[in-house]
Amino acid sequence: MHSITDEEIVSLYFDRDQQAIAQTQQKYGGLCRSIANSILGNREDAEECLNDALLKMWDSIPPAKPKSLIAYLSVAVRNLACNRRAANRAEKRGGGEVAAALSEIENVIAAPDNPEHVIDKMALADAINRFLSGLSAENRVMFVLRYWSNLSIKEIAEKCCVGQSKVKMTLLRTRNDLKAQLEEEGLL
Protein backbone atom coordinates (compact mmCIF):
# COMPACT_ATOMS: atom_id res chain seq x y z
CA MET A 1 0.00 0.00 0.00
CA HIS A 2 1.31 3.43 -0.98
CA SER A 3 2.10 5.71 1.94
CA ILE A 4 1.30 9.29 0.99
CA THR A 5 4.15 11.78 1.44
CA ASP A 6 3.90 15.05 3.28
CA GLU A 7 4.44 16.90 0.00
CA GLU A 8 1.46 15.08 -1.51
CA ILE A 9 -0.68 15.99 1.50
CA VAL A 10 0.32 19.66 1.24
CA SER A 11 -0.59 19.52 -2.47
CA LEU A 12 -4.04 18.24 -1.48
CA TYR A 13 -4.45 21.27 0.79
CA PHE A 14 -3.43 23.56 -2.07
CA ASP A 15 -5.97 21.80 -4.31
CA ARG A 16 -8.59 22.32 -1.56
CA ASP A 17 -9.17 18.55 -1.57
CA GLN A 18 -10.78 17.43 1.68
CA GLN A 19 -8.70 14.24 1.49
CA ALA A 20 -5.88 16.42 2.85
CA ILE A 21 -7.53 16.43 6.27
CA ALA A 22 -8.22 12.69 6.22
CA GLN A 23 -4.66 11.90 5.11
CA THR A 24 -3.16 14.21 7.73
CA GLN A 25 -5.28 12.66 10.46
CA GLN A 26 -4.45 9.15 9.30
CA LYS A 27 -0.71 9.81 9.17
CA TYR A 28 -0.23 12.02 12.24
CA GLY A 29 -3.44 11.79 14.28
CA GLY A 30 -2.06 9.32 16.82
CA LEU A 31 1.01 11.39 17.61
CA CYS A 32 -1.00 14.61 17.84
CA ARG A 33 -3.57 13.02 20.15
CA SER A 34 -0.71 11.85 22.32
CA ILE A 35 0.79 15.35 22.45
CA ALA A 36 -2.53 16.93 23.37
CA ASN A 37 -3.41 14.20 25.85
CA SER A 38 -0.06 14.54 27.62
CA ILE A 39 -0.82 18.23 28.15
CA LEU A 40 -4.51 17.94 28.94
CA GLY A 41 -4.84 14.50 30.51
CA ASN A 42 -8.23 14.15 28.80
CA ARG A 43 -8.86 12.14 25.62
CA GLU A 44 -11.96 14.07 24.59
CA ASP A 45 -10.20 17.43 24.91
CA ALA A 46 -7.19 16.00 23.06
CA GLU A 47 -9.44 14.88 20.20
CA GLU A 48 -11.02 18.34 20.02
CA CYS A 49 -7.56 19.93 19.88
CA LEU A 50 -6.62 17.65 16.98
CA ASN A 51 -9.81 18.57 15.14
CA ASP A 52 -9.23 22.27 15.78
CA ALA A 53 -5.64 21.95 14.54
CA LEU A 54 -6.79 20.23 11.37
CA LEU A 55 -9.26 23.06 10.77
CA LYS A 56 -6.45 25.60 11.33
CA MET A 57 -4.35 23.75 8.77
CA TRP A 58 -7.21 23.81 6.27
CA ASP A 59 -7.61 27.55 6.82
CA SER A 60 -3.89 28.37 6.64
CA ILE A 61 -2.69 26.10 3.80
CA PRO A 62 -2.59 27.85 1.38
CA PRO A 63 -1.06 30.43 1.56
CA ALA A 64 1.27 28.79 4.10
CA LYS A 65 3.43 26.02 2.67
CA PRO A 66 5.02 24.23 5.63
CA LYS A 67 8.44 22.67 5.13
CA SER A 68 7.59 20.06 7.76
CA LEU A 69 3.95 19.03 7.93
CA ILE A 70 4.38 17.19 11.24
CA ALA A 71 6.14 20.15 12.84
CA TYR A 72 3.46 22.54 11.58
CA LEU A 73 0.65 20.30 12.87
CA SER A 74 2.27 19.39 16.18
CA VAL A 75 2.95 23.05 17.00
CA ALA A 76 -0.70 23.84 16.31
CA VAL A 77 -1.89 20.93 18.46
CA ARG A 78 0.47 21.81 21.28
CA ASN A 79 -0.55 25.47 21.27
CA LEU A 80 -4.25 24.61 21.22
CA ALA A 81 -3.80 22.11 24.05
CA CYS A 82 -1.84 24.60 26.15
CA ASN A 83 -4.49 27.25 25.56
CA ARG A 84 -7.25 24.82 26.48
CA ARG A 85 -5.37 23.73 29.59
CA ALA A 86 -4.91 27.35 30.62
CA ALA A 87 -8.64 27.92 30.13
CA ASN A 88 -9.61 24.80 32.07
CA ARG A 89 -7.13 25.22 34.95
CA ALA A 90 -8.63 22.03 36.33
CA GLU A 91 -5.79 19.52 36.47
CA LYS A 92 -2.05 19.50 36.16
CA ARG A 93 -1.26 18.54 32.59
CA GLY A 94 0.58 15.35 31.84
CA GLY A 95 0.40 13.99 35.40
CA GLY A 96 3.39 16.05 36.48
CA GLU A 97 5.50 15.25 33.42
CA VAL A 98 5.74 18.90 32.43
CA ALA A 99 7.27 19.84 35.77
CA ALA A 100 9.64 16.87 35.58
CA ALA A 101 10.72 17.67 32.03
CA LEU A 102 11.20 21.36 32.79
CA SER A 103 13.27 20.62 35.88
CA GLU A 104 15.55 18.40 33.77
CA ILE A 105 16.24 21.06 31.17
CA GLU A 106 16.03 24.27 33.20
CA ASN A 107 19.74 24.32 33.95
CA VAL A 108 20.49 24.07 30.24
CA ILE A 109 18.36 26.95 28.94
CA ALA A 110 17.44 29.02 31.98
CA ALA A 111 18.25 32.69 31.61
CA PRO A 112 19.91 34.42 34.55
CA ASP A 113 17.73 36.70 36.66
CA ASN A 114 19.94 39.69 35.87
CA PRO A 115 18.22 41.64 33.05
CA GLU A 116 21.59 42.47 31.48
CA HIS A 117 22.15 38.77 30.84
CA VAL A 118 18.74 37.76 29.46
CA ILE A 119 19.16 35.49 26.45
CA ASP A 120 17.93 36.75 23.13
CA LYS A 121 15.06 34.33 22.51
CA MET A 122 15.46 34.29 18.76
CA ALA A 123 19.16 33.46 18.97
CA LEU A 124 18.40 30.70 21.46
CA ALA A 125 15.63 29.26 19.26
CA ASP A 126 17.94 29.33 16.26
CA ALA A 127 20.73 27.61 18.21
CA ILE A 128 18.34 24.91 19.47
CA ASN A 129 17.01 24.31 15.96
CA ARG A 130 20.55 23.96 14.61
CA PHE A 131 21.39 21.61 17.47
CA LEU A 132 18.32 19.45 16.83
CA SER A 133 19.04 19.25 13.09
CA GLY A 134 22.47 17.80 13.91
CA LEU A 135 21.10 14.98 16.05
CA SER A 136 20.35 11.48 14.85
CA ALA A 137 16.67 10.93 14.09
CA GLU A 138 16.23 8.73 17.18
CA ASN A 139 17.86 11.24 19.55
CA ARG A 140 15.91 14.14 18.04
CA VAL A 141 12.61 12.26 18.39
CA MET A 142 13.32 11.40 22.03
CA PHE A 143 14.33 14.98 22.83
CA VAL A 144 11.27 16.50 21.15
CA LEU A 145 8.88 13.96 22.68
CA ARG A 146 10.25 14.76 26.14
CA TYR A 147 10.74 18.51 26.05
CA TRP A 148 8.14 19.57 23.49
CA SER A 149 5.41 16.95 23.79
CA ASN A 150 5.97 16.38 27.54
CA LEU A 151 5.78 12.59 27.31
CA SER A 152 7.04 10.45 30.16
CA ILE A 153 10.21 8.38 29.90
CA LYS A 154 8.03 5.25 29.77
CA GLU A 155 5.89 6.64 26.93
CA ILE A 156 8.98 7.63 24.93
CA ALA A 157 10.51 4.18 25.44
CA GLU A 158 7.31 2.56 24.17
CA LYS A 159 7.06 4.87 21.13
CA CYS A 160 10.73 4.39 20.23
CA CYS A 161 10.77 0.64 21.02
CA VAL A 162 13.72 0.95 23.39
CA GLY A 163 14.29 0.54 27.12
CA GLN A 164 13.65 3.31 29.60
CA SER A 165 17.32 3.34 30.62
CA LYS A 166 18.32 4.07 27.01
CA VAL A 167 15.85 6.97 26.89
CA LYS A 168 17.17 8.39 30.17
CA MET A 169 20.80 8.12 29.05
CA THR A 170 20.06 9.56 25.59
CA LEU A 171 18.23 12.52 27.10
CA LEU A 172 21.02 13.15 29.63
CA ARG A 173 23.70 13.10 26.93
CA THR A 174 21.60 15.24 24.61
CA ARG A 175 20.98 17.84 27.34
CA ASN A 176 24.70 17.92 28.12
CA ASP A 177 25.55 18.32 24.41
CA LEU A 178 22.99 21.11 24.06
CA LYS A 179 24.39 22.88 27.11
CA ALA A 180 27.92 22.61 25.72
CA GLN A 181 26.83 24.00 22.34
CA LEU A 182 24.93 26.89 23.92
CA GLU A 183 27.92 27.73 26.11
CA GLU A 184 30.24 27.55 23.10
CA GLU A 185 27.98 29.98 21.21
CA GLY A 186 27.89 32.31 24.20
CA LEU A 187 24.17 31.84 24.79
CA LEU A 188 24.61 30.62 28.36
Among candidate residues 63, 88, 113, the one where a domain is terminated: 88
| Cα-based distances in Å from 127 to 131, 173, 179 | 6, 17, 11
59-83 average pLDDT score: 85
Note whether 77 and 116 are same-domain residues: no
Mean local confidence (pLDDT), 93-119: 50
Q: How far apart are CA 165 and CA 39, in angstroms?
A: 24
Instruction: Report the percent of the chain where pLDDT is more than 70.
Output: 78
List the domain range (segments joined by +) for residue 36: 6-88
pLDDT averaged over the chain? 79
CATH code of the domain covering residue 62 = 1.10.1740
Q: CATH number of the domain that 127 lies in? A: 1.10.10.10
pLDDT at 135 over 90: no
Note whether 171 and 106 are same-domain residues. Answer: yes
pLDDT at residue 2, rounded to an integer: 63
More confident residue, 139 or 188: 139
Q: Sign (positive/negative) of CA torsion 128, 126, 144, 105?
A: positive
Give the pLDDT confidence score for residue 107 in this predicted structure.
55
Largest separation between any pair of C-alpha atoms in the chain: 57
Residues of the chain with pLDDT > 90, as a percent, come to 22
pLDDT confidence of residue 167? 93
The verdict on residue 1 lying in a domain is no
